[in-house]
Amino acid sequence: MDILIGLLIIAVGAFCQSSCYVPINKIKGWSWESYWLVQGVFAWILFPLLGALLAVPEGHSLLELLETGDNFNILMTVVFGVLWGVGGLTFGLSMRYLGVALGQSIALGTCAAGGTLLGPVLLNAFFPEMGALESLTFSVISGVVVTLLGIAIIGVAGMMKANSLPEEEKKAAVKDFNFPKGIAIALLAGVMSGCFNVGLEFGKDINFGELTAPMFKTLPATLLVTLGGFLTNAVYCLYQNYKNKSFCDYKQGKLWGNNLLFCALAGALWYSQFFGLSLGKGFLTESPTLMTLSFCILMSLNVTFANVWGIILKEWKGCSKKTIAVLVLGIVVLVLSSFLPELLK
């Protein structure tokens, strides 16, 4: 029962993340770099900070935790956050060229596999005595393979869409649709985004041990990773503000009320995935396989819900029944990948 509750919590977080681009569409009069930076303040600093404070027991402080923690692990957690930030930037571009459904599918699928496998591999490289590679069991590898299969099927559906629709219909659904360019960017975004889970692996012991509830233990590491990602995104966005002369966006006082609200909502929805991941893992402690695969499960569910939103937003409008059938098959495979590892134990 605990395992089912844990997976359900992760699923709720995935649904929230997949919905975060909906309020962004309500932002008015700001360029991409301006609203991306503002929503990043909420998504990568404010909400993660509030989450991390839940891991701090009474009589202690977050600063105390960082001062007494392993400096190397703290540094590596932030460094991989900076690398993940590159993935976050290109992730946004993948939505621009492929749409919410296909862009998230390719990027998050690559992220799911890379994030799950890279963590134990790199930990083993730095700390071979930990035996991190032992977590990559047959069940875990099988789960990753099935996830990639589901992503590949959805990718085929995307190719069928790209080949079957006239250019004007593609542009109607996704204004800047460009399949080859979008695929290349989405793959890069996925590989770099996988660094998020690597950062979490390095930071998994940054907590107060038994004084911190199991469901909150990864939240301080989440803050460090998102802080690193914010640095990358802030530098790029401010550069784009300078390059495009869009600093004037921040001077539009009449827009701040509306835009701040929807940036905050987008940030809260985005952070919900990792808040849910931490809470969900607190219920998966009896299954080491699902603990290792939890990040992969989160990403596969993100893809599933992203495609649901893609259908709602009519990004697949005009496609043949065969294309839709292939899309649905990919979604079913992704849902199966969340439960298969437990069945293979």
pLDDT in tens, 160-183: 876 765 655 555 555 566 677 777
Place of tokens 């992730």: 91
Residue 137: the pLDDT is 78
Of the chain, the percentage scoring pLDDT greater than 90 comes to 29
Contacts of 108 (CB under 8 A, 6+ apart): 151, 190, 193, 299, 300, 302, 303, 306
Count Cβ atoms below 10 Å from residue 47 Cβ, excluding itself: 23
Which of 52, 46, 71, 51 lies closest to 207, judged by CA?
52
Domain count, the chain: 1
Instruction: Write down the mean pLDDT value for the chain.
Output: 83
Mean per-residue pLDDT, 246-271: 93
- Whether 24 has a pLDDT exceeding 60, the answer reads yes
Q: pLDDT (tens digit, 9 = 90+) per residue, 62-117? A: 999 888 878 888 999 999 999 988 887 777 677 667 765 566 667 767 777 777 77
Q: Which pTM was predicted?
A: 0.79
Structural domain for 64, as ranges: 2-344
What mean pLDDT comes out for the span 275-285? 88
**DSSP reduced 3-state for 46:** helix
**43/341: higher pLDDT:** 43
Cα 94 to the center of its chain, rounded Å: 13
Q: Within a 10 A sphere around the Cβ of 254, how many other Cβ atoms?
A: 9
- Give Cα separations from 22 to 100, 262, 306 (angstroms): 10, 9, 11
